[in-house]
Amino acid sequence: MATGTNIRTYFEGTWHNGDLSVMKAADHGAWLGTTVFDGARLFDGLAPDLEAHCARINRSARALMITPTVSTEDMVAIVREGLAAYPHEAAVYIRPMYWALAGDELGIIPLEGATGFAVSLEQIPMAPPEASATLTRTRFRRPVLEDNVVNAKAGCLYPNNARMMAEARSKGFNNALVADAIGNVAETASANVFMVKDGEVFTPVPNGTFLAGITRARHMENMRADGLHVHESVLSFDDFHAADEIFLSGNMMKVTPISAFDETTYRVGGNGNPVTQRVREMYWDWAATQKV
């Protein structure tokens, strides 16, 4: 089911208008969930970090034992060709995807070179600057590499994320702040997370339980260039309750201020979250230097 509008699909060497069917019932990806994807964005005529997202899906494919079949350079060119059909003002979600087509004699291990590839483009608006979200805790946790392919942006990880978010929404919150296997904060159900305390910025240290995102890294680079002290640290839920500001970092919306974490509230807008607002400004300023 599509979440956006004005969909275009690249499959088998050609761009098609609409949400094209690309996977067969007997494909390994449909049967056993061997799918990976990545997400980039077009907004204001810009597609920041597009090359990095295309490179990451090839790494994700290898982590899931799927053979990547499109080079980063060629994938960027395919995406740019597809984006050329959209108006300049369109906000588009860019989703390249691989899936395994066949398996070994038992059907379990993906066959080398048997790979499906598609790109889906959907118009999905960017969130307005004033938009915020709320967080709560969840009983579900992030897996470790010994349990699942947490070193890939893999579709098979998302049912667990969906359980987290569904639990949060049942409690009246937008999203969940999620623990790793030993109880420290890892990320949220859908994005990396930052907190601000006394003018310094903290984010969970990558420990193999979550993807340290491309947009996360871009924010850290921008903040450090602006003179902010940014720490990758082991963080507890109590640290987040004591924070002055919290914001999410993800490709879909780039920066999302948090107005509440369970019973703790945070000022959003005005002068209430100056670091979060500065991070957003810096990202858009940096993005303006990039070209599609």
The pLDDT-based confidence of 3 (bands split at 50, 70, 90) is confident
128 assigned to some structural domain: no
pLDDT tens-digit readout, 134-147? 999 999 999 999 99
Here the CATH number for the domain that contains residue 18 is: 3.30.470.10
pLDDT tens-digit readout, 113-123? 999 999 999 99
Place of tokens 């982590």: 63
The Cα–Cα gap between 98 and 115 comes to 7
Query: Same domain, yes or no, for 232 and 93?
Result: no
State which of 62, 97, 123 marks the end of a domain. Answer: 123
Q: Which residues contact 39 (CB under 8 A, 6 or more apart)?
A: 53, 93, 94, 95, 251, 252
Res 292 pLDDT > 90: no
- Triad 140, 142, 148: Cα angle to 5°: 120
State which of 100, 123, 146 marks the end of a domain. Answer: 123
Question: Widest CA span of the chain, in angstroms?
Answer: 62
Tokens in use for 146?
Answer: 């010994």
pLDDT at 130: 85
Query: Same domain, yes or no, for 199 and 99?
Result: no
Q: Is the dihedral of CA 67, 73, 78, 79 positive or negative?
A: positive
pLDDT tens-digit readout, 4-62? 899 999 999 999 999 999 999 999 999 999 999 999 999 999 999 999 999 999 999 99
Here the CATH number for the domain that contains residue 177 is: 3.20.10.10
State which of 123, 156, 180 marks the end of a domain. Answer: 123
Containing domain of residue 63, as a range?
5-123
Query: Same domain, yes or no, for 93 and 211?
Result: no
Query: Same domain, yes or no, for 111 and 32?
Result: yes
pLDDT at 126: 93
Query: Which CA distances in Å does 40 have to 93, 117, 167, 201, 224?
Result: 6, 16, 27, 25, 23
Averaged over 94-102, what is the pLDDT? 98
Query: Same domain, yes or no, for 82 and 142?
Result: no
For the chain, the domain total comes to: 2
pTM of the model: 0.94
Query: Same domain, yes or no, for 177 and 219?
Result: yes
Res 82 pLDDT > 90: yes
Query: Same domain, yes or no, for 172 and 281?
Result: yes
Query: Same domain, yes or no, for 88 and 31?
Result: yes
The Cα–Cα gap between 50 and 186 comes to 25
pLDDT at 100: 98
The pLDDT-based confidence of 205 (bands split at 50, 70, 90) is very high
pLDDT at 291: 67
Return the higher-pLDDT residue of 259 and 270.
259
Return the higher-pLDDT residue of 197 and 291.
197
